[in-house]
Structure 1
Amino acid sequence: MIHANTDESWLPLYEALASPVRLSIINLLANNLMNVKELAESLGLSSAIVTMHVKKLEKAGIVQTKMVRKHGGTHKICTLAERSISIELPHPTLDVKKVHEVSVPVGHFTQFEVFPTCGIATVDKMIGQFDDPRFFLEPERMNASILWFGKGYVEYKVPNYLLAGQRPVALEITVELGSEAPGINENWPSDINFTLNGMDIGMWTSPGDYGEVRGRYSPPWWQDRVNQYGLLKVIRIQEDGTLIDGQHMSSVGIGEIGLERNYWTFRIEVKEDAVHVGGLTLYGKGFGNYNHDMMFRVFYEDARSS
């Protein structure tokens, strides 16, 4: 998911969507992988014109392309890189400058229990071997930028930088994640549960494990046909409940999760008794389609102004 706002850096995205031809390309790619020639024939346009439109969609992060050898020739195969777009408009009552932000690498978990299939890697190499949970204890895990497991959990300690007199009004957690299938499978649902300070804040079902095309930031050494990218999810805990991508996830409000402590404990889990035990892949900086680690943003107001 693309999580955009009104910053000018998102203009290429909005410009890419402001074209009937490019919207038609998106609709065609929603159903099939297609090369430029096939798109041109479907649209009744020249390949040169379609190539220009595809480049705009690539720049916006909506479409991915790769060169594939097929039937004795080389074809530029196009596919959708995203499944949805969320646009956050300025909030009239929230001073966006009053925010503490913390970036947490995916390897900085403080507690875990994972079961195969599983693994962990830095942007340079695998840590240990596939399907051996012992390597989640390897000190080099602190440099990890991707991890995956079939069931279990990872837990993180996040420092709380709120000062005396600063009252939290919302907490946003942004993370790229997906399922974990043996190999890859884009139809592999997994019920992923989120817990903050011991409070169950909700569950989201990941549709699948994405790997048909390479992730935008997959390192060159990372092989094809394995976990490549996930979906960007934004969890927002506010006074009237918890949302995920703007949709209601639970009734847990920010006043119930104990944000006054010196640090917060965030757990991501696939429970053994879930309806869909489809595993979890967690992407950080240097992997997937978003070049950043987990982000925690707490919005606050001065107590004297409340």
Structure 2
Amino acid sequence: MELDISKHSLPVFEALASNVRINIIHLLAEQPRNMKELADALGLSSAIISMHVKKLEKAGIIRTDRIPGKGGVQKLCVLYVDKMEITFPTKQQVKQEYHQTEISIGHYTDLQIRPTCGLATPEKIIGEFDDPRYFFDGERVNAKILWFYQGYIEYKVPNYLLSSQHPKELEISMELSSEAPFTNSNWPSDIDFYLNDVHLGQWTSPGDYGDSRGKYTPSWWPSVVNQYGLLKKIRITGHGTYLDGKLFSNVTLNDVAIREKQWTFRIAVEEDSVHVGGVTLFGSGFGNYNQDLVFQLFYEKEN
């Protein structure tokens, strides 16, 4: 979950400002529970628990599912997020302008993959699972989720930088996970990123997540396969490349030929990696973040 310092994030901050609600989050991190189980565990009445649950649900921290129970339909509470990132305003961010390009998951320009694999639009599966031929099907341009076990997928990205604009940093964000048979939250995969054939770094995805449905995943999507990923942000600057704010490599903007009229971005699972566990890419209409591949090139204008 991404937050900023604005009124839009207030419901989340308010939901976390309570010992009871913090305790509820810890209980749900262990396993989903119904209202009675939460009330018994915390020694509170069902009415009070219901009030706290509504605040957490409004903030998008948990969700409640109605399921059959012994006494009829009951509410099952499920923890909905596993990570929060708060972006604070900075002087640099306020001053900088940027070009933004969003590339749909299905708009790849090259690939070389091995099963397991597949892709889908928000409405249906394209072709059949584990047959790479369907990655060349005409409908693939509408794909909003894809996955493969080993290989690479590549995207061409237009660069709208003008000669009078000086690049300061490029941020690339995407939602992704490993690719396990069905799902497995403990399924590490070494995923490599390249820009214009320059290796930016390698990130080890912890797993392929299916413990709860993705926030934007369509209702028809099978519950036994990939549901959501983790939002990762790669930031290339004049001093190095960072992943989620931590140094990823020493690659700089100059190293990747940032002024080229178009860039080539590759996501790969190399055959000789220590952990070959595939990759799943989530686009808008799937997962928890409702976005495709997003490229933001920050720049300064000439005086």
- Report TM bin, short chain: over 0.9
CA contact (8 A) 2:96 2:300 kept: no
In structure 1, distance between residues paired with 2:10 and 2:25? 18
For 2:116, what is the secondary structure of its paired residue?
Answer: coil
Which digits, 9 at most, give the CA deviation of each residue in 1:239-260, with x for residues without a partner? 2222222222212122221110
Higher mean alpha-carbon deviation, 80-89 vs 190-199, is at: 80-89
CA contact (8 A) 1:212 1:225 kept: no
In structure 2, distance between residues paired with 1:168 and 1:44? 57
1:127 aligns to what? Answer: 126
What is the letter of the counterpart of residue 93 of structure 1? Q
For 1:256, what is the secondary structure of its paired residue?
Answer: helix
Aligned length: 303
For 1:12, what is the secondary structure of its paired residue?
Answer: helix
In structure 2, distance between residues paired with 1:17 and 1:5? 15
In structure 2, distance between residues paired with 1:4 and 1:41? 32
Assess, with a 3 A threshold, how the Cα gap between structure 1 residues 72 and 150 changes in structure 2: closer, same or farther: farther
Question: Post-superposition shift, 1:205?
Answer: 1.2
1:193 aligns to what? Answer: 192
Assess, with a 3 A threshold, how the Cα gap between structure 1 residues 225 and 76 changes in structure 2: closer, same or farther: farther
What is the letter of the counterpart of residue 79 of structure 1? V
1:143 aligns to what? Answer: 142
Assess, with a 3 A threshold, how the Cα gap between structure 1 residues 183 and 301 changes in structure 2: closer, same or farther: same
For 2:220, what is the secondary structure of its paired residue?
Answer: coil
In structure 2, distance between residues paired with 1:131 and 1:298? 36
1:55 aligns to what? Answer: 54
Question: Post-superposition shift, 1:297?
Answer: 0.8
In structure 2, distance between residues paired with 1:264 and 1:108? 14
Which digits, 9 at most, give the CA deviation of each residue in 1:250-303, with x for residues without a partner? 121222211101111111111111111111111001111111212111111124
The 5-angstrom pairing of residues 1-306 of structure 1 reads 2-69=1-68, 74-95=73-94, 98-304=97-303
Assess, with a 3 A threshold, how the Cα gap between structure 1 residues 296 and 7 changes in structure 2: closer, same or farther: farther
What is the letter of the counterpart of residue 204 of structure 1? W
Question: Post-superposition shift, 1:66?
Answer: 2.4
Assess, with a 3 A threshold, how the Cα gap between structure 1 residues 36 and 246 changes in structure 2: closer, same or farther: farther
In structure 1, distance between residues paired with 2:2 and 2:246? 14
Structure 1 gaps of 5+ residues are none
Which digits, 9 at most, give the CA deviation of each residue in 1:82-124, with x for residues without a partner? 2221111112234455111111110011111111111000001
Which digits, 9 at most, give the CA deviation of each residue in 1:13-46, with x for residues without a partner? 2222222221112222222222222222121222
Assess, with a 3 A threshold, how the Cα gap between structure 1 residues 254 and 62 changes in structure 2: closer, same or farther: farther
Which digits, 9 at most, give the CA deviation of each residue in 1:182-240, with x for residues without a partner? 01111111111111111111111111111122111111221111111111111111222
Question: Post-superposition shift, 1:67?
Answer: 3.0
In structure 1, distance between residues paired with 2:203 and 2:89? 26
What is the letter of the counterpart of residue 270 of structure 1? V
In structure 1, distance between residues paired with 2:260 and 2:231? 28
Assess, with a 3 A threshold, how the Cα gap between structure 1 residues 138 and 65 changes in structure 2: closer, same or farther: same
State the superposition RMSD in angstroms. Answer: 1.7
Assess, with a 3 A threshold, how the Cα gap between structure 1 residues 70 and 169 changes in structure 2: closer, same or farther: same
What is the letter of the counterpart of residue 301 of structure 2? D
Question: Post-superposition shift, 1:133?
Answer: 0.3
In structure 1, distance between residues paired with 2:294 and 2:122? 19
For 2:55, what is the secondary structure of its paired residue?
Answer: helix
